[in-house]
Structure 1
Amino acid sequence: MAVRKLEHTGIMVRDLEQSIAFYTDIIGMTLKSKLLHTNGIIELAFLGFPDQDSIELELIQGYNDNLPAEGKVHHLAFTVDDIESEFERIQQLQVELIDQGIVTLPNGSRYFFFKGPDGEHLELFQTTRT
């Protein structure tokens, strides 16, 4: 098969700079590049994690000004080592939580959801899978 990996996930945003700041300051991603689309309207930013090329996030401004609260991509999940400390950190940053707290799955994996700057659903996930 010719497909080798998921290239990136695109999220439409209202304010590119605000979203870049959120994903770098809150999530810990780094800005890889920014560019203006060939149509001269859409602005793109690509973010990733240092020393890890398999995950990339594309932020898209100017494609659709009428963003739905929940779009085709339901959520993005990020792996963490210590769900409790991340939950406390997110609460201290006054980021809006979705639901009430940390959920434990039957296999012992744990997660919680919160909102990004455009209402996108984000998940921090501590897995028990190896």
Structure 2
Amino acid sequence: MIEFNHFNFNVLDLEKSIAFYKEAIGLSVVREKDSSDGSFKIVYLGDGRTGFNLELTWMRDRKEPYNLGDEEFHLAFKTDDYDAFHKKHEEMGCICYENPSMGIYFINDPDGYWIEIVPVR
């Protein structure tokens, strides 16, 4: 047997990213790992329902934004309260792309990663 465990995003401002994912998606910290020399910190966020985690990695010496290429990759979340999340994300100003014909939209996190929001179908 094999199953999903986590997906990683490297971030510049760990606290800002944790706050964003808490407000925008409702993810909470489930565990943390600090390097012994302080050069990095890893925080795992979870939804409290599945075992899948989003791993946020912060590197102490990293100052420049990460190169996300053409932003062709993304993380997706499904929700049974699509309209409420859309309204919240509009208010947060984080919607970066909408595709009404497909019934989906994307938000940007503080580092520019795309997160797709999909209604339960």
- Give the alignment's TM-score, normalised by structure 1: 0.79
Unpaired stretches in structure 2, ≥5 consecutive residues: none
The CA deviation at 1:87 is 1.2
The CA deviation at 1:102 is 4.2
Q: 1:39 to 1:5 in 2, by over 3 A?
A: farther
Q: Following superposition of structure 1 onto structure 2, how do residues 109-124 of structure 1 map, counting pairs within 5 Å?
A: 110-124=103-117
Bigger shift: residues 32-41 or 7-16? 32-41
The CA deviation at 1:42 is 1.2
1:57 aligns to 2:54 (yes or no): yes
Q: Tell me the secondary structure at the aligned position of residue 10 of structure 1.
A: strand
Q: Following superposition of structure 1 onto structure 2, how do residues 41-120 of structure 1 map, counting pairs within 5 Å?
A: 41-53=39-51, 55-62=52-59, 65-66=63-64, 67-70=66-69, 74-95=73-94, 97-99=95-97, 101-105=98-102, 110-120=103-113
Unpaired stretches in structure 1, ≥5 consecutive residues: none
Query: Matched residues, percent identical?
Result: 24
Count of aligned pairs: 119
Q: 1:87 to 1:69 in 2, by over 3 A?
A: same
The CA deviation at 1:52 is 2.5
Counterpart of 1:12 (choices 3, 10, 13) is 10
In structure 1, distance between residues paired with 2:71 and 2:57: 14
Bigger shift: residues 82-91 or 22-31? 82-91
Q: Cα RMSD over matched residues? A: 2.3
Q: 1:70 to 1:86 in 2, by over 3 A?
A: farther
